[in-house]
A = this chain, B = another copy of it.
Amino acid sequence: MPAVNSQPRRAHSGNRRDEAARLAVLHAADDLLVEHGFGALTIEAIARRAGVAKQTIYRWWPSKVEILLDTLIEDSDKRLSVPTEHPTAETIRDYLRGFARFLGDDPAGKVLLALIAEAQHDPATAASFHQRYLGPRREQERDLIARAIDAGEVSPRLGPDDTIDALVGPIVYRALTGSSIPHELVDTLVEDLLRPRSA
C-alpha cells in the first residue's frame, strides 16, 4: 500500500526545526493567555491547542515563560518600537501614549503584564525577563532620553533611569490595577517631569 492518503498531514521538515510547529506553539500560547488567562496556560494545553507533542515544546523552550517572552519580543518589536530619530518631548509623549495603548488594548500587552507578574513568583522568570526584555528596552529608552536632553528638548531633574521609571511606572501600575490610562495623565507626567519649573 504505497501511501495514497490524499492529505499529506504536515510536510514534516525532517532534520531541521519545524517552523510551522514553532509558530503554532507561539500562537497557541498567546491565544490561551488572552482567552483563559495565565492559569490556563499549561504546557499540556499549549501542546493540545497547537496540535504539537509536548516533547516538541520541551525540546525548544525551557519553560512556558520563554514561550511568552518569544511572543512578547516579536510583537513588541513590531508594534511598540522605541523612536530613534527627532527626540522631542512630543516624541516621548507619543511613545508613552503608544505604550499605554499597548498595555491596555493589545493582546501582547497582556503578555507583558503576565510576565511582570510571573517574575514576582519565580526568580528564574525575573532573570530571563530582565535580560531578554526589560534590559534591552531600557537601553533604548535611556538613549532616547539622553538624546532629547542633549538636544535641549527636555530637562528632567532626575537621572535617566529614575525619569523613565517615573514616566512608565504610573502607566504600568494603572494597567496592573485594571484601570484605563487617559491621555491627560501621560501628558501631564511628561510636562511636569521633563520640563519642570526650575529648569
Number of chain copies forming the complex:
4
Give min CB distance, A64 to chain B, whole Å.
12
Q: With A166-B170, A177-B130 known to touch, is A157 a contact of B192 (CB < 8 Å)?
A: yes
Is A153 engaged at the interface, CB distance under 8 Å to the other chain?
no
The contact of A174 among B120, B169, B196, by CB within 8 Å, is: B169
The contact of A165 among B120, B122, B173, by CB within 8 Å, is: B173
List which A41-65 residues lie within 8 A (CB) of chain B. none
Instruction: List chain A positions with a Cβ less than 8 A from chain B.
Output: 37-39, 113-114, 116-123, 126, 130, 134, 157-158, 161-162, 165-166, 168-174, 176-179, 182, 184-185, 188-189, 191-193, 196-198
The contact of A121 among B117, B168, B169, B182, by CB within 8 Å, is: B117
For residue A193, which residues in chain B have a CB less than 8 angstroms away from its CB?
Answer: 192-193
Give the nearest-CB partner of A168 in chain B. B173
Contact sample, A vs B, 20 pairs, CB 8 Å cutoff: A37-B123, A39-B122, A117-B117, A117-B119, A117-B121, A130-B177, A157-B188, A162-B184, A162-B185, A162-B188, A165-B170, A165-B173, A165-B174, A165-B179, A166-B185, A166-B189, A168-B170, A192-B192, A192-B193, A193-B193
Give min CB distance, A127 to chain B, whole Å.
10
For residue A176, which residues in chain B have a CB less than 8 angstroms away from its CB?
Answer: 116, 119-120, 172
A116 to B185, CA, bound (A): 22
For residue A171, which residues in chain B have a CB less than 8 angstroms away from its CB?
Answer: 169
6 further A-B pairs in the complex, CB-CB below 8 A; given A157-B188, A162-B184: A38-B120, A116-B120, A134-B177, A165-B185, A172-B173, A193-B193
For residue A169, which residues in chain B have a CB less than 8 angstroms away from its CB?
Answer: 169-174
For residue A166, which residues in chain B have a CB less than 8 angstroms away from its CB?
Answer: 170, 185, 188-189
